[in-house]
Amino acid sequence: MTDMQTASHPATDVQGVILDWAGTVVDFGSFAPTSIFVEAFARAFDFEVTLEEARQPMGLGKWDHIATLGRLPSVDSRWQARFGHPMSRDEVDHLYHTFMPLQIAAVTRFAAPIPGVLPVLASLREQGLRIGSCSGYPRPVMETLVPAAAEQGYRPDHWVATDDLKAGGRPGPWMALANVIALGIGAVHRCIKVDDAVPGISEGLNAGMWTVGLSVSGNEFGATWEEFAVMGQEEVAARRAPAEAKLRAAGAHYVIDTLADIAPVIADINRRLALGERP
């Protein structure tokens, strides 16, 4: 019998959670990547994209994010009016190489854990769960973010960057499955993928995992912690509703406000697993 099959953590229970980074564990509102996309476009081509446009492809690897952003109808029409052609691969490369040093420099400013998350993760570890993680950030960004987050108390058991695997990143299952292998988890249906963006939900579904969307702490809600803290209930509800709808439409099994609210979800998944249910 393994340590994951003790009386306190029977073989039917969840063994691990695979967590996104920005908007899920750190960086309430997922501002580190979105604001830097806006800056990169301005620096590379003196071209304006809005924060709302920059948020739309969130969750993809950052090169793919830039390419997808360039294909948004609103961006593409302005780009073609300005440059006379759709955004080219060379232009995406130039934007990406402009983006990378800006992102590396900025990411430590957004490494603070989302309020309430660290005690919940400590509780999950006490229950025997393993904490995996993956990100749309490439490895050079993660190599800066991971130690910065560790200084503030967040240390997952494993992490995977979007460019670590030849197969690629989201919405494919590979980063999530790499965590399963590294953490020695016995079955994918005993894992939960938690993310604030649609590609991350698709990643978990493609990996055969339970999926939990976050409707307030991340990209879809799009507010800082300070903004959220002073919002009235009506505004919170108005911003939460479309975020929740988008995550549920992507197939999320559960949608909660922030990762700090996940304990009842895990209890319900354990109940469903004990009944023989699968994602």
Q: Is 22 helix (H, G, I), strand (E, B) or coil?
A: strand
Q: Name the DSSP letter for residue 88.
A: P
**Residue 89 CB contacts under 8 Å (≥ 6 apart), including other chains:** 67
- Alpha carbon 49 to its chain centroid, in Å, reads 22
- Crossing angle for the helix pair 62-71 and 89-107, to the nearest 10 degrees: 130
- Alpha carbon 195 to its chain centroid, in Å, reads 4
The residue type of 11 is A
Q: Using CA atoms, how far apart are residues 53 and 37, in angstroms rounded to an integer? A: 10
| Structure tokens, 120 | 């919940």
| Structure tokens, 277 | 């249910």
Tell me the catalytic residues.
Answer: 20, 62
- Bin 91: left if φ > 0, else alpha if -120 < ψ < 50, else beta: alpha
For residue 191, the surrounding DSSP H or E stretch is: strand 191-195
Q: Using CA atoms, how far apart are residues 118 and 101, in angstroms rounded to an integer? A: 29
